[in-house]
Structures are given as structure tokens and as C-alpha cells.
Amino acid sequence: MSVEPKLDTSPYVSDEVRKTTCYMCACRCGIDVHLRDGKVRYIEGNRDHPVNRGVLCAKGSAGIMQHYSPARLRKPLVRVGERGKGEFREIEWDEALSLATDWLSAVRKTDPRKLAFFTGRDQSQSLTGWWAQQFGTPNYAAHGGFCSVNMAAGGIYTFGGSFWEFGAPDWERTELFMLFGVAEDHASNPIKLGLSRLKERGVKIVGVNPVRTGYNAIADEWVGVTPGTDGLFILALVHELLKVGKVDLDYLIRYTNAPWLLVEDEGASDHGLFARDESGEPLVFDRKRACLARASETGVKPALRGEVKLADGRSARPVFELLARKYLAQDYSPEAVAERTGVPAEQIRRIAAELARCAFEREIVIDQPWTDMKGERHEKMIGRPVSFHAMRGISAHSNGFQTCRALHVLQILLGSIDCPGGYRFKPPYPKPVAAQLKPHGRAAPMQPLDGPHLGFPEGPEELLLEDDGRTAQRLDKAFSWDAPLAAHGLLHMVITNAHARDPYGIDVLFLFMANMAWNSSMNTSGVIKMLEAKDQNGDYVIPKIIYSDAYASEMTAYADLILPDTTYLERYDCISLLDRPISEPDKLSDAIRWPVTQLDRDVRGFQSVLLDLGARLKLPGMTAADGSPAFRDYADYLVNHERKPGVGPLAGWRGEDGRSVGRGAPNPGQLQAYIENGGFFETEIPLEAQFFKHANKAWQDWAVRMGLQEKPFPCVFQLYLEPLRKFQLAAEGKREPQPPESHRSRIMAAFDPLPIWYEPLEHETAGADFPLHAITQRPAAMYHSWGSQNAWLRQIHGRNALFAPPEACDAAGVEDGDWVWVISPHGRIRVQIKRMLAQNKRTLWTWNGIGKRAGAWALSPDAPESRQGFLLNHLIHELLPPKGDGMRWSNSDPITGQAAWFDLRVRIEKAVEQDDNVSEPQFPPQKNPTGPTPDMLRYGQEWTS
Ligand code: SF4
């Protein structure tokens, strides 16, 4: 089907107003796009939209200049010069799609693994993942592995949720809010709305971040923690709470594995695993009857401490006893961690006391009866009004998974998950690991993959390994011994491994909006060389590169074939519950984008192109029985694709008459219904189902009715993560399959089933030569590399500087405005210094994504972004320095493979040359494939040069 939108014309302004969804960052706010004579005149926030309720940020309103950016690609291009030179020939779509089909079908017929299909900040992963699965390659993921997978995986494994898209603080009821490591990245407008609500209510905000900018600048208390030590700080808070007995024992017994018994049998293959009955149910010790009982049994009163004899005579102890013993150790006392974290012991102790006071003395009671999954009725909902939020700052470290777990353990000990005033799940969460997918990686010619790519393994037996038990099935080595719980893949290792042909070479690299030749890669200069590298026959080591994007980024110059995408105002798109949802804690929501402007170039929406390629390749599900395309375009797919009967990409207005929600037959009028409703759908969760969703029968039943899950999935919070213990047992040689010898010690050290802190891996080798930490933050006005093509946003950040604390400046003898060399174990860059007081005294930082390669993004070759701007990426290697063990380990978390961007250690030296005002390294300018670069851009003239 094809959808002809009926247009909504506002009666009270002269402009025509069309309501759609912003894509100037990942928040997906609702926007009203004002048009006159087919041109975009103005963008404002949609006051009815659940995400932003009318609030619009600088990026959102500057979308108009993005839409008319001179960097927009205009037509399919095929490379004619050498890679990297930016020399292309324009071709027609038929030729472009035939070429892509020829390249891809040759791979599919012989070895589908030879296609690596990775996407960047893709908001259509349920389509792109399904396409890759039907193609049959195991090599698919989006950008999560280099973004914040530790946060997502740490949360899912611990409590079936996480922050941002998975859940949010109860902004209306919380009484104390702690923000960890968050710059203005994920959840931009929603966080701003929430913080302003807290300010209105006089609620204390504590910001924990090495740098006091943005949200941290408006915090009531700032904790200037040293990068990579957040876990230690959090576990010191846990130490203090346990010491004074301020943990919610009733909550722990009801909702967590705190009372579950752990086998104590040193040397046995189940030492440290849960004691289970013959049906596999975890056991507890029932104090009431003084006997073993199933943890799920109604009416048991489980013990939280004490040695217990199992039926086979062996000993066992409850998780809580081990937990308390571990964190009450002096290693986690405020005094023991103060120097390393940079947080005074007194401040740690006071914050712990404030958390305890708020959680237990300001308890919230809502008179709303509800029934739990054991059938027990509760007359009230009891809340602990402390809440937390965190994202990349604490997760982009090689100890990030354990740090994220530590934060969730703190939340759970306080009893503040999905209760009034605490953290609240957003639909479709919670989803415990048992309800999540498992990863699949077996490929065969002309066959779909044996299942979805990404998932949550629960032990070594679920890794994606070849029959030798050690070779990774995936190119990025996700779900191998290198990164066993790599739930989002490792995009940052794809080009390196393809270039090294380790574990194998590829024929086609297919990327969608992933700027891997610049700011999305570690070791940018090295990755550029890999993209250009040729073998002894003169052929490219990565033979073919297909790239799709709307704009001429640094990456386009390295493509052999460019499939130009539309801007976000020119295509259908979907913010789906199957993908990355936008629900609120009390509402289930999804949304669309639709073409609010007409195309003026020969470009096509990438998702429609992907479906077209799928039909040409005759992929299952994308081809009808008569061999014709199953879907005319992405709009047709959004309406008619069913992931399971009655469940498709959009939850609203389902059923032939459009009256069903969640489940229902495809409705030909569905997209029009979204357009008429302002581009989004929302439905209220019944009050009885709004809290304690992990254990709430009303929620579980509602979630099944809505098609969010096929059956009730109660979620027991995992303070102790048994899958990690299984990996340790394998490394100890007690369980099959076993890791190679080279991996054993690091698995035994890092895979502790209770959260631990360990020194970030790069710090182990950096030593005294590199005493400073160096990190980046995303500015509020930019979204990674996209912002610098935008004429309005460039006026806010046209270049970046390296912000340095006075202590570091004085030690190096540099003044404000001096040029310095920043030197890491991997390389050196030359940048300008700005002195700044409000930051950790051992930390340097800069804005992310401002520095550009000359000529890219249709900027003039002497633009300040390239002449003075810079990237820290040149200092960060994707591999750790050699440690003498014969290995070059990936610069990633050893558990999830998360890129450890923020582990970087450096020193600074005053540059001898102070007067040429140019950063280093500089690269030869790229040729702009979109035509001559305009000398000046102005609203109204932006589409002419
Ligand atoms: S936060 Fe700003 S840029 Fe991001 S989606 Fe919302 S309005 Fe757009």
C-alpha cells in the first residue's frame, strides 16, 4: 500500500503546521513543523507530545538548517578515484541498486558471513536487524557497543530494565536525585523537564561527574569524581548503608535473590551457583518452618543469613550474607576510597546518610491496592523517594559493566526500583533476561541466520563460537571469550578485525549513518589507513564498501557506493515498541515520522531502499509468493509487517477498524491515524499496574494483552549474577566449555557475580608517564558529528578547546590559551588549553564531535572545526598497549565489549610553536561530493550557494 497523508492545516496561523518527530538527537521529541510554499519556516515543540510536552532545544529548532544543509547528498554515487579522495560519478538508482544487489548476492550465495552490516544511531533496528537475519550474516549490530551497552546490559541482567528508554525517575515524587556521569547526551529534553520539576519542588540534586557543566552546573551538590572510579564511590555508599543497617530487607526478600542459597563446595563445578531443587527452582531457607523451600513458594519467610545444609549434605548460604560480608570490608570504607575517587570520606558518609534518611524517613504511601505474582494482595503502594540516573559517563570504561551493576544494587538495597518516588520502568520494561532473546551466529549460504543476532547469554554454553570452542563466529567477536555478554555488538572493532582478517576477512562492509572514518572510531588515523589499505595484488583489503547517509560526512569519501538517504522531514519512520521505545512510566507510547516536506533531490529513505534490496535478493519475508516485493516501501512495511500474529511495528490504531491497541490485524488507515493524532500514540497504564511491575499481576496481564510479551514474566532482581559465576567456573576449569588459557585470569578477575571495582585496564599500563585522565562530553547544542554542518549550531560551537584544571596547567607550566601537546601511550595531538576550575583536578576534557576533517560536511577547508577543532580519538587505540602476555586486548570492557573511551590517560607538554593557531593532526582536505561549498549560509538562502 502507499499512504497519501491528508494534511492538517492550523486554522490560527498562516503557515501550514505538520506534526512529526524530531531526529536532531536520540530523544525523539514531538515537533510542529511550520511550512509556507512547501518550505520549512519554523520548528517548535509539540505541546501534547509525551516526550517533550512542547519543550524544544537548540538542536531541535535548528533542524531547519539541517534539513537544508549544503552537505545533503543529492544522488547515488559510485567511486571513480582512489578511496578517500572523494571522487565519484553520479548514477541512477537502478544502477546503484543493481550494483549493490550483485555484490550482496555473490556474498549470500557463497558465505553470508562476508557481509558486515552495521548501523550508527539507527532508530530502525528492528528492521535493520531483521533484514540482516534474513540475509544470513551473523555480522550485524548498531552503535550500542561503543555507546552505552554497559548501562543497558548491566541493567537488564540486574533488574530487567535500565535508564533512559527503559525507565525514568519518578520526577513528581522523588525527594533526592543523584545524577551519575551524565552530560547532555541521552534523554536531553526529558531530563531537562525532570530537573526543572525537581527545582520547582525544591528537591536536592546531586551531580556525580568529573566535570561540572550542563546538568551538573545546576546540581545542588557536585561530586567531582575521578574518571573510572564511580564504582568505588557507589560501593562505599553501599558500605555505609549496610554498616548502619539502612537497607530495605522486606523489599530484598520479596523482589530479589538476596535470600537465594549459594552452594558452598570449594572445587566443585557448582560452587557459587544457586542451590536448586530437582526442577531447577532456586532454594531458600524458610525460617518459619525451618526447612528448605522454593524461592517462589507462597508464604515462606526466607532467611538472609546463616549456613544451611542441603539435601546432599553440602553447605549453602544466602546471597545477602555474602553481599554484606563483601561490602562491609574495609576496602570499601569511605576512608579507603577517598584518595582514589577524589571524593572526601566525609562527603561520601554524608551522602549515604542523606540517601538513608530520604528513603526510610520520607516513605511515600499510595492508597492503591494491588496483587503480586504470588497472589498476595497489598492494600498500599510503599515508595522510597530516592532516584538515580546515569548513562555513558559511568559505562564507557573497561570496568563499566560492574559499575553499572553496582549502581543498580544500590538502588535495590534502598528498595527504590519501580516504587513511588524511585526509579520507574517504562513499557515494555521490565524484561528479565529470561524474557530476552539469545544471540545467534550460525550462517549458511542462501539461508537466514539461525535466529536473531543480539541477546543475553546466561553462560559459556551460549557463546557464539566455532566448533573449536575458541574462534568467534562474529567478525566483531561479540559473544566470544573476548566479550561474552556483548549485547549490542562491538562496532568499534569491525574495521580493525576486517582489516586484520581476524577471525576472517569480509567482502562487503555495509554501513548506515556510522561515521567510522572520523569520530565514531578509536584510532581514527589508523582506521583511515585500514579503509585505504590494499593487499599484494593491489586490491582493497576490505573489497567493497556500501554507505548510506543523508549527509557528506568524513566516511562518504571511503565508500565505493553511496546510497543517499533523506532528511528526517522527508520520510516515513517509526519509533517502535519493538525497537527503542519512547514510553513514559505511566503511559505506553510510540510514534512515527512522515514526509512533511517534498523531496527536492534524487534520494530515498534508507529503510525503503533496504526493503527494495531485500526483495531483489529474494530474502524471506521481503518477497511475495509470486516473487514480487512483499512491501512497496517502508510505510507499507510499518502497516503490514507482523513480527508475530497481530503484533507489528506500531501499537496504536490496530485492527481492521483501527480500534485495537497493541494486538490487532494490520489497519490500512494506521499511519493516517498517527498523522491525525500529532504523529504519536499513547495509552494510559491502569493505576493498579503502574508500580512494582516486576511483581505486579495487573501489569503482567496488561503487558500480555498489549502484545508486549507472550506470557507473564515476573522479574526477580539479581543482586548476585549467576551467569558471571558460570564464566568463572569455566575459567577455573570446572565447567564446559572452557576458555583458552590466555583468557582465564581476566575472566576470573572481572566476572565477579557481585559487583566489584577494578582499575580500568588502560590505567594498569599507563603508569606515571600519563598521570591525567582525558574525557569528552557531548555539548547540549550538538549531536555528535551532525551539528557542525548546521549554520546556526556552528555559531555556538565552531571549535573546541581542551579544558584543564589549574593544578595540571601549573604542573606543565602552561597558561590559559597556550597550545600544548597532549600525549597518550598511543599518540599525540596539538590543541589549545582553557583553564577551568569546575573539574576534577586530575582530569582534562573537551566537547565531543566538534573537530572535523577539512572539506567534510560541506565546510570550507579552513573552517575552524578543522583548523582549530580536534578529536581525542587520535589518542585512543582500539587495542590496549602490550602487557607482555603476547596479547593485544581490545580496549573494551572484558564482559560486554563496551568501548572504553573514558579510560584514556595522557600528559600535557607546552608546545614550542605557539603562533600558528592550528591543531594537529591535520589531514588533506576531502573533496565535497555535494558540489561547491557555499561561502555564506543564511536562513532563506540556505539552499543556494
Ligand atoms: S532533545 Fe532537542 S534535538 Fe533531541 S529530539 Fe528533542 S528537540 Fe530534538
Q: Which of 869, 880, 874 is nearest to 828 (CA)?
A: 874
Give tens-digit pLDDT for 357-376. Answer: 999 999 999 999 999 999 99
Neighbours of 544 (CB within 10 A): 23
In sequence order, which residues have a C-beta less than 8 Å from that of residue 75 and are 6 or more positions away?
90, 91, 564, 601, 602, 603
Query: For a pocket test of ligand 1, which of 19, 20, 21, 22 has the largest count of ligand atoms closer than 8 A to its C-beta?
Result: 22
Sorting pLDDT into bands at 50, 70 and 90, what band is 2?
very low
Q: Phi first, then psi: what are they for 235, rounded to 5°?
A: -70, -25
Instruction: Please name the amino acid found at residue 705.
Output: R
**Whose Cα sits closest to atom 8 in ligand 1?**
60
Q: Which residues of 3-37 are buried (b: 16+ CB within 10 A; e: fewer)?
A: bebeeeeeeeeebbbbbbbbbbbbbbbbbbbbbee
C-alpha span between 547 and 849 (Å, rounded): 20
Give tens-digit pLDDT for 307-342. Answer: 999 999 999 999 999 999 999 999 999 999 999 999
Give tens-digit pLDDT for 675-710. Answer: 999 999 999 999 999 999 999 999 999 999 999 999
Sorting pLDDT into bands at 50, 70 and 90, what band is 945?
very low
Ligand 1: which atom is nearest the Cα of residue 56? 7
> What's the pLDDT at 934?
79
- List residues bridging with 31 in a β-sheet: 20, 45
- Residues above pLDDT 70, as percent of the chain: 98
Ligand 1 pocket residue status of 28, Cβ below 6 Å: yes
Ligand 1 pocket residue status of 191, Cβ below 6 Å: no
Give tens-digit pLDDT for 12-53. Answer: 456 899 999 999 998 999 999 999 988 999 999 999 999 999
- Residues above pLDDT 90, as percent of the chain: 90
Q: With H, G, I as helix, E, B as strand and everything else as coil, classify residue 766.
A: helix
Sorting pLDDT into bands at 50, 70 and 90, what band is 831?
very high
Query: For a pocket test of ligand 1, which of 43, 44, 52 has the largest count of ligand atoms closer than 8 A to its C-beta?
Result: 52
> What's the pLDDT at 512?
97
Cite the DSSP H helix spans in 819-941. Answer: 864-867
The one-character DSSP state at 372 is B
Q: With H, G, I as helix, E, B as strand and everything else as coil, classify residue 794.
A: helix
Grid cell for residue 802: 581542551
Give tens-digit pLDDT for 691-700. Answer: 999 999 999 9
Give me ligand 1 centre to Cα 193, in Å: 12
Give me ligand 1 centre to Cα 864, in Å: 25
How far is CA 333 from each of CA 24, 236, 357, rounded to the nearest angstrom? 44, 5, 19
Give me ligand 1 centre to Cα 492, in Å: 26
How far is CA 238 from each of CA 137, 260, 677, rounded to the nearest angstrom? 44, 20, 46
Mean pLDDT estimate for the chain: 95
C-alpha span between 555 and 540 (Å, rounded): 16
Does the structure show a pLDDT above 50 at 420?
yes
> What's the pLDDT at 376?
94
Give me ligand 1 centre to Cα 778, in Å: 14
Give tens-digit pLDDT for 425-440. Answer: 999 999 999 999 999 9
Sorting pLDDT into bands at 50, 70 and 90, what band is 1?
very low
Sorting pLDDT into bands at 50, 70 and 90, what band is 185?
low
Q: Which residue has the cell 522523588?
A: 174
Does the structure show a pLDDT above 50 at 895?
yes
Sorting pLDDT into bands at 50, 70 and 90, what band is 935?
confident
Give tens-digit pLDDT for 452-489. Answer: 999 999 999 999 999 999 999 999 999 999 999 999 99
Ligand 1 pocket residue status of 46, Cβ below 6 Å: no
Q: Looking at 185-194, 363-372, 567-576, 623-632, which range is the least confident one?
A: 185-194
User: Mean of the pLDDT values across residues 400-426?
Assistant: 98
Give me ligand 1 centre to Cα 783, in Å: 9
Does the structure show a pLDDT above 70 at 837?
yes
Q: Which of 2, 63, 5, 4 is nearest to 30 (CA)?
A: 63
User: Mean of the pLDDT values across residues 347-365?
Assistant: 97
Sorting pLDDT into bands at 50, 70 and 90, what band is 623?
very high
Strands across the sheet containing 386-390 = 221-223, 204-208, 176-180, 386-390
Grid cell for residue 144: 550500542
Give me ligand 1 centre to Cα 833, in Å: 30
Query: For a pocket test of ligand 1, which of 44, 55, 57 has the largest count of ligand atoms closer than 8 A to its C-beta?
Result: 57
C-alpha span between 666 and 682 (Å, rounded): 18
Ligand 1: which atom is nearest the Cα of residue 31? 7
C-alpha span between 759 and 866 (Å, rounded): 35
User: Mean of the pLDDT values across residues 848-869?
Assistant: 94
In sequence order, which residues have a C-beta less than 8 Å from that of residue 678 and are 6 or more positions away?
19, 30, 46, 48, 49
Ligand 1 pocket residue status of 753, Cβ below 6 Å: no
> What's the pLDDT at 4?
54
Does the structure show a pLDDT above 90 at 824?
yes
Give tens-digit pLDDT for 735-778. Answer: 999 999 999 999 999 999 999 999 999 887 777 899 999 999 98
Q: With H, G, I as helix, E, B as strand and everything else as coil, classify residue 783.
A: coil
Query: For a pocket test of ligand 1, which of 21, 32, 53, 56 has the largest count of ligand atoms closer than 8 A to its C-beta?
Result: 56
Q: Which of 504, 455, 505, 490 is nearest to 894 (CA)?
A: 490
Ligand 1 pocket residue status of 188, Cβ below 6 Å: yes
Ligand 1 pocket residue status of 693, Cβ below 6 Å: no
Ligand 1 pocket residue status of 402, Cβ below 6 Å: no
> What's the pLDDT at 941?
60
Does the structure show a pLDDT above 70 at 282?
yes
C-alpha span between 794 and 227 (Å, rounded): 29
**Whose Cα sits closest to atom 6 in ligand 1?**
29
